[in-house]
Amino acid sequence: MSIGNFDQSLLSEEILESISEPILLANLQYEIQWMNNKAAVSLTPLFQLYGLRSSEEAIGQSMDFFHSNPHKQREMMKEVTKSIRTRITIQNQYVAETVISPIKNHNREIIGYVLMLLDVTHQAEEEQRKNELISALSIPILRIWNDVMAIPILGDLTNDRADKLVEKALTYSVKHRMEYILIDLSSLAAIDESTGYHVNRLCEAANLIGTKCYVVGVSPSLSLSIVQSNMKWETFTHVQQAIQYILASNHLEISQKL
C-alpha cells in the first residue's frame, strides 16, 4: 500500500520520463504502446536485431519477439498479479533484468503492463567468468609425477562440484595417461557421508579406466571419521608415503644426488 499524498497535478508520462531506466507500456495483448525516451534511445540496437529500423517501429509490436518461447511467456503472464523480476537473454547478445508490473484501474482490474529493462549483459559476462574461475580453482589437479596426479579436496563437495570433480579428474587421467590419483583430504578434519560418497564414486570410476586411487593427508581425527563411514580406501598420512609406496610397487626408488 502506498503512503503519503500524491500530487494530482503530476502527469504520469512526466514521471515515467524522469526515470533513468528504459520503461515500456504494453496493453493486455502484450503489444508495446509507449516507451520513455531512455528506452527509445538505448533499445534501438536491440530492436534492430529483429529487423526494426527504429524504436518508433516497435510501437504496436508484440513483446513476443523478445522471447524464444512466446507461448510459455504468455502463460506466465496470465499469472502476473504483482511485480515480478526475471532475467532474459535476447538474441544471445543481451542479458536483461526485466521487471514486469501489472497496471490496474480503480476496480483493481489489470488493463496493461509496465516493463523496466535493465541491461546487465556486462554483469552476466563477469558473473560467468567469475563462476568459471571459481570452478577451475575449486577443483585443482596437480601432476606430481610422470603418471601420478593429486587432487586436493577443498571445502564442501556439493553434488554439482563433485560431478565436475569426477569429470575433470577422469578426463585429465585419460588424456595424460595417469596411473595413480592421490586424493588429498588434509584440509578436512572429518568426512561426512556426502563427501565420502563422492570420493568413493571417484575412486570406483577411476578404477574402471585403470587408474588407482589412494587417499592421502589422513590425520588421526580423519582416520576415525573414515572408519565410521565404513570406506575401504587405501590411505596414507602424507603424500610422500604414497609416492614411496607407488615407487616400491613398481620396483623403483628415488636416487639422491650429492
- 152-166 pLDDT per residue, tens: 988 777 788 888 889
Domain boundary among 83, 103, 125: 125
How many residues appear in the chain? 258
pLDDT confidence band for 257 (50 / 70 / 90): very low
Q: Is residue 130 part of a domain?
A: no
- C-beta neighbour count of 109 within 10 angstroms: 10
The model scores a pTM over 0.75: no
User: How many structural domains comprise the chain?
Assistant: 2
Structural domain contains residue 51? yes
Residue 26: its H or E element: strand 23-26
pLDDT higher than 70, residue 26:
yes
Alpha helices in 63-181, H assignment, sequence order: 70-77, 121-138, 159-175
| C-alpha to C-alpha distances, 197 to 67, 158, 201, 233, nearest whole angstrom | 41, 11, 6, 12
Same domain membership, residue 153 and residue 234:
yes
Query: What pLDDT digit, counting tens, does each position of 54-89 carry?
Result: 899 999 998 887 777 777 777 777 777 888 887 777
Q: Looking at residues 195-203, what average pLDDT do you find? A: 92
Segment 172-181 mean pLDDT: 94
57 DSSP 8-state letter: G
Q: What is the pLDDT of residue 93?
A: 66
Q: pLDDT value at position 216?
A: 95
Whichever domain contains 37, its CATH number is 3.30.450.20
Shared domain check, 146 and 95: no
Q: Give pLDDT, residue 129.
A: 62
Are 97 and 161 within one domain?
A: no
- Say what the pLDDT of residue 51 is: 85
Residue 224's domain spans which residues? 139-249
Strand partners, 95: 89
If you compute the radius of gyration of the chain from its CA atoms, what whole number of angstroms results? 30
Same domain, 146 and 108: no
Write the CA distances from 256 to 6, 38, 75, 105, 122, integer angstroms: 86, 73, 73, 87, 54
Q: Which helix (H) or strand (E) element contains residue 214?
A: strand 212-216
pLDDT band at 182 (very low <50, low <70, confident <90, very high): very high
Given a cut of 70, is residue 136 above it in pLDDT?
Answer: no
Q: 143 and 235 share a domain?
A: yes
- Please tell me the number of Cα atoms within 13 Å of 36 on its side-chain side: 17
Provide the mean pLDDT of the chain: 83
Is the distance from CB of 204 to CB of 196 less than 8 angstroms?
A: no
- The pLDDT, as a whole number, for residue 258 is 40
Look at residue 255 in the predicted model and tell me its pLDDT: 52
**Top mean-pLDDT range of 105-119, 128-142, 197-211, 218-232:** 197-211
| CATH code of the domain in which 232 resides | 3.30.750.24
pLDDT over 60 at 1, yes or no: no
Task: Kindly state whether residues 91 and 49 are assigned to the same domain.
Answer: yes
CB 24 within 8 A of CB 34: yes
Residues 16 and 117 in one domain: yes
- Give 12 or 142, the one with higher predicted confidence: 142
Q: Determine the pLDDT at residue 164.
A: 86
Same domain? 102 vs 169: no
Q: Are residues 114 and 21 in the same domain?
A: yes
176 domain-assigned? yes
* 101 and 156 together in one domain: no
Q: Which residue has the cell 580453482?
A: 137
Residue 53 three-state SS: coil
Whether residue 149 sits in one domain with residue 92:
no
Alpha carbon distance 142, 183 (integer Å): 10
Q: Which residue has the higher pLDDT, 199 or 95?
A: 199
Domain final residue pick, 77, 97, 125:
125
- Residues 120, 151 share a domain: no
